[in-house]
Structure 1
């Protein structure tokens, strides 16, 4: 079965696809918002520390399990736990699959916002002022129209397969994303007020770095940004040839993802202070106005004040976010699709459209009960489900998975002195660090 599976045809294809999964709205929308609300430079510092100590090892563990099993996340975890707790492994895999659906349910809604805001300034430039205003204004009708559009875009790529769809489109979209991001940063940093935002972002106040709320926010953001804990990286790992250097691949993905998050901060936070210099109020007390909605409330006003050049910048900015959202939705959609194809023997096309229909139903439910469910789903996923899944990956690699596990099997570690050290770090240190964070979450709540 494994030799018949579709796969990535190159290392760079895997890195771009996995980085595309990681680089999404979590980086360009979520990270700058969290940084601005949590001390700027202090949040950036803690985020980098958490990424190295926990997120990178969690990414490694997730990719490693998938790569060794060469199966979808549900089957991979079941196999890894076969000698100790196969039912627990399968259950954890199904929970991750549910997490992927949960992520897609709100992610496609937000992605629809990005798409609408990308089209709005174009409509304004073409003279369709009423349409532009409608596109830029949050409404249930707009959500109902644009969420399915984004689900269809993801499905159109996924049903083509791993190499012809995911790998090919990631190789096209990721360079475009990087070029657009650099161009926008170059423009924004030349505007009045950008220097103040730059200082707040780059100079940390170390008195804030021990704040438990800041640490928890940074951890949730790191896991969300890297798309860890919902099986996307595990299924991508399974599409790489077995026994590739997973360590180098994980470092490459983490470095690229962290770089994009850092660059997004260089764009968004100075842009907020450019808006403030132009007379807009961006803070209410010590929190951003609108928090997660800030880029829809504040930045469009800033772009509008710049005239036609601002409209062009707005098109570029929200197109950038739309591309980032698309590359991330692809990996999350692949998790349940791979399960249905391999475990339930459905065709890829049929599995893709079944998953898309489920995601559409979940998204429509969130839209219908937006005020009560939207924020709750995001919090449950990023602060509970994803960290818990990562904790389980550490337990699987360090304790439950025995035969064929190079990180624990002494006979497989010959000539690799670093493997026992790395294996013990994943086995003892990472679960302990995550447990400490969870205790703090419980205390704060």
Structure 2
């Protein structure tokens, strides 16, 4: 008997899960840093513009591929290319599958750091100084403890399936993430120096709006923050019921993700100015200190300067970061798990543990060769795979997929113009992002 495919049971569950896949460290960590280094309000304005120009069509394209195929990315892309050369589509699906494993191999390490930092305030309250130093220190032992912990948390949710696992926990974690974020913003707004940060973030400097670096940075951030190009959205789109209103759901996911990125800026950039007010060095040569230094040095130093309340602020912040990490690892893990279940007939339980073991092995290789391999893996993944896969999806839907492609076939009115925009303009914009990332980053 054919296995009944699991899926989302409600629109809200899908929106929260898909937004959770998109809402990760790129939003809460990367977006504010990009904004701080590219004109604050000017970057924010450019970001909102390119969300509509590039990110929304890209999100819709990836969701559409999965939704029409009702299958994992390997099957979906193979079907889309069946009239041309199905092996090309399947190969792209396997590249996305490998990319999900690669992403999880380094993302789980960073997520483990967040988990360790979220526990540290508790050890500080209990006066356990040695434990606090271990949790905030940079050691191989810490990585080998907290990376598997994050993998096990992810596996525990994936084991329960889409409805009982991914959807249920997304409905719990995403509202909690939003609540914690809003509480931290409200508290940060009361501190000296925050008002200057709000002005820098919300008031555009229109003299910078035409800066090519700012525009391309906003394009790249908009694309990467929506977790596009690795298949997360394709697999989630495949779990939607066939009659769902995909354009409306796409818009809802993009707006929730953008809203979280905006709120993250309302937290991080004022926090930067508060830290500066307290004597913490946050800018070097006019640029914000590196992202790793921001999260793991500048902000903890700020929390320490707040006294007793800083312990609770730090605890809340890193719990927030841990939740953002977890919602992203869930979606990426589901890609190879669904592949093993659908293409190789494995039980979900067995597939989940196989994928978790593979990711742990890959993560262990990075941990043991951290100095050169960690940066290399991130660089290859973000500079090459994500933009190239995004470009491939545009070409697939716009040019190669003919039979059953309702977006291109019989399109009329606004649907016709959107189809033409997706075929001609989006590939050019995506190519511009790729060229800039390769040349300038």
Report TM bin, short chain: over 0.9
1:304 positional shift? 1.3
- Residues 1:400 and 2:396 are matched in the alignment: no
**Number of the residue aligned with 1:18:** 18
**Number of the residue aligned with 2:390:** 390
In structure 2, do the counterparts of structure 1 residues 436 and 302 end up closer, same or farther at CA, with 3 Å as the change threshold?
closer
Q: Which moved more, 1:316-325 or 1:298-307?
A: 298-307
**Number of the residue aligned with 2:195:** 195
**Number of the residue aligned with 1:123:** 123
Q: Deviations over 1:128-157 (max 9, x none)?
A: 122112212222221121111001100110
1:42 positional shift? 2.5
Asked if the contact 1:2–1:71 (Cα under 8 Å) also holds between the matched residues in 2, the reply is no
1:442 positional shift? 5.0
In structure 2, do the counterparts of structure 1 residues 261 and 398 end up closer, same or farther at CA, with 3 Å as the change threshold?
same
Q: Deviations over 1:289-340 (max 9, x none)?
A: 3333311101111111212211011111100110111011100000111011
**Number of the residue aligned with 2:237:** 237
CA distance in 2, matches of 1:202, 1:379: 31
1:404 positional shift? 1.1
- Residues 1:132 and 2:129 are matched in the alignment: no
CA distance in 1, matches of 2:345, 2:67: 21
Aligned CA RMSD, in angstroms, stands at 1.6
Q: Deviations over 1:401-444 (max 9, x none)?
A: 1111111111xx4xx62211111111111012222333444554
- Residues 1:432 and 2:428 are matched in the alignment: yes
Alignment of 1:336-375 (within 5 A): 336-375=336-375
**Number of the residue aligned with 1:224:** 224
Asked if the contact 2:117–2:135 (Cα under 8 Å) also holds between the matched residues in 1, the reply is yes
- Residues 1:149 and 2:149 are matched in the alignment: yes
CA distance in 2, matches of 1:241, 1:402: 22
In structure 2, do the counterparts of structure 1 residues 328 and 440 end up closer, same or farther at CA, with 3 Å as the change threshold?
closer
1:180 positional shift? 0.6
In structure 2, do the counterparts of structure 1 residues 432 and 210 end up closer, same or farther at CA, with 3 Å as the change threshold?
same
- Residues 1:176 and 2:173 are matched in the alignment: no
CA distance in 2, matches of 1:170, 1:190: 31
Alignment of 1:162-173 (within 5 A): 162-173=162-173
CA distance in 1, matches of 2:179, 2:2: 37
CA distance in 2, matches of 1:109, 1:231: 21
CA distance in 2, matches of 1:21, 1:287: 29
**Number of the residue aligned with 2:285:** 285
1:288 positional shift? 2.3
In structure 2, do the counterparts of structure 1 residues 422 and 43 end up closer, same or farther at CA, with 3 Å as the change threshold?
same
1:366 positional shift? 1.7
Residue from 397, 414, 417 that aligns with 1:421:
417
Alignment of 1:269-280 (within 5 A): 269-280=269-280
In structure 2, do the counterparts of structure 1 residues 215 and 357 end up closer, same or farther at CA, with 3 Å as the change threshold?
farther
In structure 2, do the counterparts of structure 1 residues 232 and 193 end up closer, same or farther at CA, with 3 Å as the change threshold?
same
CA distance in 2, matches of 1:81, 1:269: 45
In structure 2, do the counterparts of structure 1 residues 152 and 251 end up closer, same or farther at CA, with 3 Å as the change threshold?
same
Asked if the contact 2:30–2:291 (Cα under 8 Å) also holds between the matched residues in 1, the reply is no
CA distance in 1, matches of 2:108, 2:90: 27
In structure 2, do the counterparts of structure 1 residues 380 and 212 end up closer, same or farther at CA, with 3 Å as the change threshold?
farther
In structure 2, do the counterparts of structure 1 residues 361 and 208 end up closer, same or farther at CA, with 3 Å as the change threshold?
farther
In structure 2, do the counterparts of structure 1 residues 288 and 165 end up closer, same or farther at CA, with 3 Å as the change threshold?
same
In structure 2, do the counterparts of structure 1 residues 441 and 300 end up closer, same or farther at CA, with 3 Å as the change threshold?
closer
1:352 positional shift? 0.7
1:50 positional shift? 2.0
**Number of the residue aligned with 1:380:** 380
In structure 2, do the counterparts of structure 1 residues 438 and 312 end up closer, same or farther at CA, with 3 Å as the change threshold?
closer
- Residues 1:79 and 2:82 are matched in the alignment: no
**Number of the residue aligned with 1:111:** 111
Give me the TM-score of the superposition, normalised by structure 2: 0.96
Asked if the contact 2:100–2:335 (Cα under 8 Å) also holds between the matched residues in 1, the reply is yes
> 5+ residue gaps in structure 1?
none
CA distance in 2, matches of 1:235, 1:150: 21
**Number of the residue aligned with 2:304:** 304
In structure 2, do the counterparts of structure 1 residues 2 and 289 end up closer, same or farther at CA, with 3 Å as the change threshold?
farther
In structure 2, do the counterparts of structure 1 residues 436 and 317 end up closer, same or farther at CA, with 3 Å as the change threshold?
closer
Q: Deviations over 1:228-277 (max 9, x none)?
A: 11001000000001132111111000000000000000001100110110
Q: Deviations over 1:12-55 (max 9, x none)?
A: 11111101111111111111122222332232222222221111
1:211 positional shift? 3.6
**Number of the residue aligned with 1:56:** 56
**Number of the residue aligned with 1:28:** 28
CA distance in 2, matches of 1:267, 1:188: 7
**Number of the residue aligned with 2:6:** 6
